[in-house]
């Protein structure tokens, strides 16, 4: 039997606790690093969410049709999704402490190019640069979050993820007040947060390099808890986790992209009311993202995955038949519960393949990003062919994919026994 042990895996290149503290007790320095990387995630995703927010301006100024706008989105998403696991795999073998400010620099250049691009071809180049910035940022910043976790890997990943969720929500709002009144050139104002991000990430990179230097001077005394699984079981487990990501992000795409249209068509509410209900849903997603990581640390990743994916099935099945009031209540519950899944899935995968933090982070961020984009496009097509209400009837069954969680191996009890 082809057994694989974490002892055979490349060892992680840093310790996640300092000698003066116990596992699970982050030092003030680690908390500052974690806060800094979450803040930069906010800036990164805020800036990158501007691209679709300025589509009305670009469509009018460059006389584009929806196919052109779709090509811009496709370019950004494909570059970001495909490069993330490659970047993570490369930096697993060759740590690059200052990759993060370099990634944000690509985003900055892309932003400035968007502000002055004279033709559609240059808009494509700008989208590509922003995609490269995203591909570098996410796997490396996820690695930093794990380094600064003090052993609380789930909390660190969810805290880091909340920064991105907040940035994605703030970006379109700022675009409405800053970019839309000024036109394409208004994008240049967002060079300021990008430059701030570069400065903060440079400091984080200096901390990373120092930790790496200290680590190279110390003899490695910690050993990873062995996960004795065959390569086949590991591959199957990763495929199951990717299927769960598919379920989560396809369903979230139905709410984040089309919730307001659903409310307006089904209940004839005003645009303002639909936006308020969308804001409540997004707030629940942010809260669930943060709580899910800590819950995984305390009660186990697999249990959180069970609850966060399969646990929302009763609510998603009822949602298409609910009244306006209960639709609002159910969407908040669904957003809170299902959002708790990602950090648990990501940390579970990282512990399944220790020493591959960058590659795993890049893979799952890339899949999540790609599934969200593909889901929005596919569901939009279904809505055009049928109705937006039909979309919610179909998507209601997606959380049933959570049943696959039962086939995931139980790796956490072995880790607990060795603690």
Whether 160 has a pLDDT exceeding 90, the answer reads no
pLDDT of residue 203: 92
- Give whole-number Cα distances, 2 to 7, 100, 228, 230, 272, in Å: 15, 37, 10, 5, 59
Whether 328 has a pLDDT exceeding 90, the answer reads yes
User: Comparing 29 with 8, which gets the higher pLDDT?
Assistant: 29
- The 10s digit of each residue's pLDDT in 91-124 is 888 888 889 999 999 999 999 998 898 998 999 9
Give 3's strand partners.
Answer: 230
Quickly state the pLDDT bin for 179 (edges 50, 70, 90). Answer: confident
- The 10s digit of each residue's pLDDT in 233-261 is 989 999 999 999 988 888 887 887 788 88
Whether 315 has a pLDDT exceeding 50, the answer reads yes
What is the mean predicted confidence (pLDDT) over 340-350?
86
- CATH class for the region spanning 230-419: mainly alpha
Identical fold at 27-216 and 230-419?
yes
pLDDT of residue 312: 92
- The 10s digit of each residue's pLDDT in 390-409 is 989 999 999 999 999 989 99
Let me know: does 107 contact 48? Beta carbons within 8 Å. Answer: yes
pLDDT of residue 26: 57
- The 10s digit of each residue's pLDDT in 359-394 is 888 888 888 877 877 777 788 878 888 888 998 999
Q: What is the mean pLDDT of the chain?
A: 81
Locate the domains of the chain by residue range.
27-216, 230-419
Share of the chain above pLDDT 70, in %: 87
pLDDT of residue 15: 41
Tell the CATH superfamily of the 27-216 domain.
MFS general substrate transporter like domains (1.20.1250.20)
pLDDT of residue 215: 57
pLDDT of residue 413: 52
């Amino acid at each position: 039997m082809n057994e694989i042990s974490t002892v055979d895996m490349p060892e992680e290149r840093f310790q996640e606790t300092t000698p003066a503290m116990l596992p699970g007790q982050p030092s003030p320095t680690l908390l500052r690093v974690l806060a800094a990387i979450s803040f930069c995630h906010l800036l990164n995703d805020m800036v990158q969410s501007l691209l679709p927010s300025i589509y009305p301006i670009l469509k009018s100024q460059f006389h584009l049709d929806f196919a052109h706008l779709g090509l811009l989105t496709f370019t950004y998403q494909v570059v970001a999704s495909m490069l993330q696991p490659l970047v993570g795999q490369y930096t697993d073998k060759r740590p690059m402490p200052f990759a993060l400010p370099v990634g944000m620099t690509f985003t900055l250049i892309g932003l400035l190019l968007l502000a002055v691009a004279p033709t559609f071809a240059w808009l494509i180049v700008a989208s590509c640069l922003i995609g490269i910035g995203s591909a570098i940022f996410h796997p490396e910043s996820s690695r930093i979050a794990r380094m600064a976790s003090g052993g609380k890997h789930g909390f660190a990943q969810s805290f880091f993820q909340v920064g991105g969720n907040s940035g994605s929500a703030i970006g379109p709002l700022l675009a409405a007040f800053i970019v839309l009144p000024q036109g394409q050139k208004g994008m240049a104002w967002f060079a300021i947060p990008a430059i701030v991000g570069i400065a903060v990430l440079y400091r984080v990179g200096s901390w990373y390099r120092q930790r790496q230097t200290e680590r190279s001077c110390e003899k490695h005394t910690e050993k990873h808890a062995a996960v004795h699984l065959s390569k086949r079981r590991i591959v199957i487990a990763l495929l199951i986790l990717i299927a769960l990501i598919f379920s989560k992000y396809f369903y979230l795409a139905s709410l984040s992209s089309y919730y307001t249209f659903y409310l307006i068509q089904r209940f004839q509410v005003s645009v303002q009311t639909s936006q308020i209900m969308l804001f409540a849903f997004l707030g629940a997603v942010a809260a669930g993202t943060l709580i899910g990581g800590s819950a995984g640390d305390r009660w186990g990743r697999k249990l959180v995955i069970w609850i966060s994916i399969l646990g929302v099935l009763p609510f998603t099945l009822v949602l298409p038949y609910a009244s306006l009031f209960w639709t609002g209540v159910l969407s908040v519950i669904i957003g809170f519960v299902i959002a708790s899944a990602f950090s648990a899935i990501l940390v579970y995968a990282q512990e399944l393949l220790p020493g591959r933090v960058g590659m795993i982070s890049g893979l799952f961020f890339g899949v999540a990003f790609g599934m969200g984009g593909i889901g929005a496009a596919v569901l939009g097509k279904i809505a055009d062919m049928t109705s937006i209400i039909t979309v919610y009837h179909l998507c209601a069954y997606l959380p049933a994919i959570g049943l696959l969680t039962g086939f995931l191996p139980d790796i956490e009890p072995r880790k607990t026994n060795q603690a």
